[in-house]
Structure 1
C-alpha cells in the first residue's frame, strides 16, 4: 500500500471526481459513509452522546455528513461548528444545510468558552483534516486544549486536528490526542512515526473509492506492507523438496553469558523453514546448543573452554560451497579481535556473494574505534537490523525528530547500498533504492529481551531459502510481528518473552 503525500491525495480526489466521474459532494458522502460503517462496528452501543466538532472546510463537511448519518441510525448526536473564520468550503455549506433540517447545530466562536464533557462521551474530531499547513491558534487551539483535557474517547476523521500529514510539527504545537484515527483510502506518513503516537492513537484505513489508476501511477518512496501483499511473497513448497532445497545457513552468535541469544536466534531460524543450520560459537556453548536445539549443527570456535569471545579467522575455504546465507550478531559481545573476525567474514561473503544479516553486536563492533573506518566492508544488499540506539551508534549521529531520523536512515541505506530494518512499532525497512517499507504487524509485548535475536534468525532462514534480500527483510519483519501478535493473544503482552514469539512462528 502506497503512502502518498498531501498534494498527491488532493490530486487523487480531483482525478476521481473527473474520471469516475463523481461530484465532489458525492465523494464526500462516500467517505463519510465509509467512516460511519467503521464506527458502527466499533461502537455498537447507542446510549452515549457523540459530540462532533466540525471545522469550516471539507473535513468539517465530512463531520456534518457523519453527524447526519449517525443521527439517522439512532445515535445521540450533538454537533458543534468551530467558527474560526468567515470562509466556508462549498461542501461544508451543502452538508450544513442538509443537517440543519434534522438537528440543531451549535456555533462556537468565543475563545473564552468552556466546554463540558462526561467521561462516557464520544468525541468526533472533524475540525481540520490533512490539509492543515500551520500551527493551531486562537479559537481552534482553545477548543483542542479542552478536548484533550476531557476524559472522553476522541475519534479523528482522516487526521487528528493540528497534526501535519507529511511534515514535522513544531514541538510547541497544540495537537488533538486521538484514541482512534480513521484515515481515508491510504495511510499518512505521520501515522508511522513514534513521535506522533500519542496524537494518532490506533489508526485504521477505510476505502473511499479513490481512483486506483491514479494511485497505481503515483510515485512515492513510502510504502505500508499490508498482510495480503506480504503473504504473497511466501514461496510454496514442492512435493519432492528436501532439506538441501531450503538452504544451509550459518549463524555466528553467542559469547560467555550470552548463549541464550544464540539459542533464540537459532530456534527462530529452524522454525522459519531453513533446511540446515550450523551455529558457530564459543567452545563452552556446544553443550548448551546441542541440548536445547539438537536439530542444529555446531561449529566450535578454536580456543579454550573458558574463552569469552569468538576470535575465528574466517577464510574463503571455511565458507565456500557450504552456506547459502550467513547471520551474525546475537550475543557476540564487543571486542577488538571480534571486530576483526566480523570484518573478515564480511570480506569473504562479498567475495563469494553470500547474503548476510547483521544484528546487535555485529553492528556494535562497527560502531567503535576503527570499526567506523571499515563499515564499508559490509557486503552490499546485506540486511542490518538495529534498534534506534544501535543505529545512532552506527552512524555516529543523533536526530531531533523522526522525520530527520528517516532522512538519516535513507542516506545510510543508499550510501552503503544495504537494507536497514530499524526496529520498533511499524519497523521502517530502508532499501538501497531510497524507498521505505513500514511494517503492519507486531505489538508492545515484543519489547522484551531476545525479540531482536528471533528476528535475525527468521531473516537468516529466508535468505538461505533463496529469498532476495529485500523480500527476506519485508517478509521476515512481518512474520516476526505476526508471531508476536499470536503470542500476545495467548500470553498477554505483559507476560510475553522472546521464546513465545519463536513458538508462534507459522508461515
Structure 2
C-alpha cells in the first residue's frame, strides 16, 4: 500500500490518543513562542486550537442552517454547554453565530465560576461580544432549565455539554436536558461526542443525545463509525485543526480512514495500447450444483472491474447455467467424474491438475464463492492453495476449507474441537502459502478461522493487525465498518453501513472486483482497499435508486460503472 502520507489518509485515533495528542500539541505550540512556557502560555496555545474548532463548527452550521427552513423568520441556534473545554468550543461557536446575525443563546449547565483556562477565555470573549448566557443556576426553582429553550423559535441545537471526556452515567440535570432535547425533534449537532456517550467505556449510558451529525475535531475516532457509537453520533464530520505534524506522528496508531474520495488515487492505470492480456487475466474457481449464482456474480463483477480476460473454472454440471447468463468469460469446465449424486457438481481432487494447468497463465486468482464444503472440495482447496504463486483472493468456502485443516471429518461449525490448535494450524498454513493473498471473511467465517472477534469494536483493529502480521496476508473483514489489515501493520477502515448490502451474494461481487484489480497489477493492500471502496460506492448508488429492501447484489454490479 502506498504510504498514508502520499495518500493523505486521516489517522483514526482512540479517545485516549486524541487527549494525549491535544495535550502534547499545546505544549509544543507554547514552546514555539518561548523556550520555557508558563501555564498561561500553554492555555493560550490551547485556546488557539479551541478557536479553530469553534470556527470549523460555525462554518458547518452555517451551511446546515440553509438546509433547515425557519419556522418563522428568525434564525436561532441554541447551544447547550458544560463548564469544560467542550463548552468552550460552544462559546467560540456562539460568538461567530452572533457576529453573523444568527440568534444564538447559550444555556450552560455550569455556572460562570466553573469555567477555567481555555474555556474561561472563550466565555470572556463571548460575553464581551454581547452574547446571551443563561446558566441553570440563574433559573428559578419553579422553572425547568431544560425546557426554557423550547420558548425559542429554534432551527438547530448544538450539543457542547461534555464532549469526549464524559465517563459514567449522567448527572440528573444533564440526563433531563438530554431527554428533552431528544424529545423536541429538533436536529442536533454534537461537538466531539454526543452527551451521554461514555468515550472511555465506548457505550451509550442510560440516556444519550441522538445527533444528526457529530463534528470530530482534529482526527476521526473509531467510536463514531461502529455499532456502539454510530447510532448516537449520526453522520461524522471531521474538522482538521492545525495540530503540529511532528506531534501527530508520535500518536499515530496505524489505523486510517478511507472513503470514496480516495478512489481516483488508487485506480490502476489503463494501458491504452495493450491487448486483453495486458489488461489483466483473472482466473476464478467458484460455484457448485447448489450455488451457481455465486460463481456468476463473482465472474460478472470481475468483468465489470477492468480485467481484460476472465476465466471461470466450474463444474460441467453448472457451466451451462452460467453460460446462458454470461457471454464474456472463458469457461474451464471441470469433469464431474461419473454420476455420483453426492459429489456431482462440486470441485474434487481429480480436478487439481486441470486447474493448475489453466491457472498458469493467470495474473490473479479468486477461489471460494459457492464451492461447497463437502470433503472432496475441502481436500482440493487445501491442496491447490499452496501451489498458487500469483496474487489470490481467498473467499467463502475456500476460507471454510482452511478452517477445517486440522479436522479428521469435514465440518463448518462455529465451535472448534480445539480452538487454539485450529487457530495455530490455520495461521501456519496461511503463512506458508507462496502467493500474496487477500482473505475476505465475514464475522462468522473469521470466527471459524481465528476465533471470535473481541466484544468491543475498539479492539477489532488490533486483533486484525495481529493476524495480518502473523499470516503475512491481507485480512478484509466485511461488515459495518469494513476493516482491511495489511501485513505491515496498517489497518484501513471504511466507515460505511448499508443494510441493503447485507444479502447473500454481495461478498461474491466483492471478490470479483478485487481479483480484477489484482489482475491489473495492484498490490494486495491497494486492491483490497480499492475493491471495498468501489463495492460500497456502487452499493450506495444502488440503495439510492432501489432502496435497502429491494436492492440485490446483481444490481450492485449494474452500478459498478458509476463507481469507477
TM-score (norm 2): 0.81
Of the structure 1 ranges 304-313 and 203-212, higher mean CA displacement relative to structure 2 is found in 304-313
SS in 2 for 1:77: coil
**Counterpart contact for 2:259–2:533, Cα < 8 Å:** no
Structure 2 residue 287 is matched with structure 1 residue 254: yes
Structure 2 residue 147 is matched with structure 1 residue 108: no
SS in 2 for 1:284: coil
Gaps of 5+ in 2: 1-9, 35-43, 408-421
Of the structure 1 ranges 75-84 and 33-42, higher mean CA displacement relative to structure 2 is found in 75-84
Q: Match of 2:102? A: 75
The CA distance in 2 between the partners of 1:344 and 1:444, in whole Å, is 36
Q: Match of 1:342? A: 381
Q: Match of 1:327? A: 366
Q: Match of 1:363? A: 399
Q: Match of 2:121? A: 94
Structure 2 residue 267 is matched with structure 1 residue 234: yes
The CA distance in 1 between the partners of 2:111 and 2:556, in whole Å, is 50
* Offset from partner CA, 1:239-264 (integer Å, 9 cap, x none): 31111112222111111231111111
Instruction: Write out the 4+ residue segments of structure 1 that deviate beyond 6 Å after TM superposition.
Output: none
SS in 1 for 2:124: helix
Q: Match of 1:219? A: 252
Gaps of 5+ in 1: none
The CA distance in 2 between the partners of 1:286 and 1:490, in whole Å, is 32
* Offset from partner CA, 1:410-441 (integer Å, 9 cap, x none): 33222222211111223111122332101156
The CA distance in 2 between the partners of 1:37 and 1:82, in whole Å, is 25
**Counterpart contact for 2:271–2:278, Cα < 8 Å:** no
User: Aligned runs of 1:59-458 on 2, under 5 Å?
Assistant: 59-83=86-110, 87-101=114-128, 102-109=130-137, 113=144, 115-116=146-147, 122-132=156-166, 136-165=170-199, 167-169=200-202, 172=205, 174-215=207-248, 218-303=251-336, 304=338, 307-313=344-350, 314-315=352-353, 317-318=356-357, 321-349=360-388, 353-368=389-404, 370=406, 372=422, 374-375=425-426, 376-378=428-430, 379=433, 381-440=436-495, 443-458=498-513
- Root-mean-square deviation (Å): 3.0
**Counterpart contact for 1:441–1:485, Cα < 8 Å:** no
Q: Aligned-pair distance for 1:312?
A: 3.8
SS in 2 for 1:280: strand
Q: Aligned-pair distance for 1:398?
A: 4.8
The CA distance in 2 between the partners of 1:84 and 1:412, in whole Å, is 51
SS in 2 for 1:277: strand
**Counterpart contact for 1:441–1:478, Cα < 8 Å:** no
Of the structure 1 ranges 218-227 and 415-424, higher mean CA displacement relative to structure 2 is found in 218-227
Structure 2 residue 67 is matched with structure 1 residue 30: no
The CA distance in 2 between the partners of 1:245 and 1:14, in whole Å, is 54
* Offset from partner CA, 1:464-493 (integer Å, 9 cap, x none): 122111111111111111222222333333
The CA distance in 2 between the partners of 1:205 and 1:329, in whole Å, is 38
* Offset from partner CA, 1:12-58 (integer Å, 9 cap, x none): 45445655998443432222121111112122145464321111111
Q: Match of 2:560? A: 505
Q: Match of 2:413? A: none
TM-score (norm 1): 0.89
The 1:227–1:308 alpha-carbon spacing in structure 2 relative to 1, beyond 3 Å, is same
The 1:173–1:89 alpha-carbon spacing in structure 2 relative to 1, beyond 3 Å, is farther
**Counterpart contact for 1:177–1:200, Cα < 8 Å:** yes
**Counterpart contact for 1:59–1:126, Cα < 8 Å:** yes
Structure 2 residue 11 is matched with structure 1 residue 2: yes
Report the number of matched residues: 503
Task: Decide which of 520, 524, 539 is 1:465's aligned counterpart.
Answer: 520
The CA distance in 1 between the partners of 2:291 and 2:558, in whole Å, is 20
The CA distance in 2 between the partners of 1:59 and 1:34, in whole Å, is 14
Q: Aligned-pair distance for 1:69?
A: 1.8
SS in 1 for 2:52: helix
**Counterpart contact for 2:311–2:329, Cα < 8 Å:** yes
